[in-house]
């Protein structure tokens, strides 16, 4: 089995169009709704997201 480096994986992921991830999310959401149709997709508490691009920016600004 050939190992894939993190750099290669990051490069390939960066080249993917956003529509790919939108389609993947829609597919996964549909699958979840089929499994649990009465469960609403919601969060009771605050939802925090972290965009990983800020990590590279911080590392570049503050080495």
Tens digits of residue pLDDT in 6-37? 898 888 888 888 898 899 999 998 888 888 87
- 3-state secondary structure at position 16: coil
Half-sphere exposure (CA, 13 Å, Cβ side) for 3?
3
pLDDT band, very low/low/confident/very high, at 63 (cuts 50, 70, 90): low
Q: What angle is formed at CA 31 by the lines to CA 11 and CA 49, rounded to 5 degrees?
A: 50
Sign of the CA dihedral running 48, 42, 19, 27: positive
pTM above 0.75, yes or no: no
Instruction: For residues 25 and 19, give the distance between their C-alpha atoms in angstroms, rounded to a whole number.
Output: 10
Question: What is the tens place of the pLDDT at every residue in 31-45?
Answer: 888 888 777 767 788
């Amino acid at each position: 089995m050939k190992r894939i480096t993190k750099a290669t994986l990051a490069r390939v992921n960066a080249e993917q169009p956003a529509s790919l991830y939108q389609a993947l999310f829609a597919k996964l959401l549909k699958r979840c709704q089929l499994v649990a149709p009465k469960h609403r997709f919601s969060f009771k508490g605050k939802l925090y997201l972290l965009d990983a691009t800020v990590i590279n920016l911080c590392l570049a600004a503050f080495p």
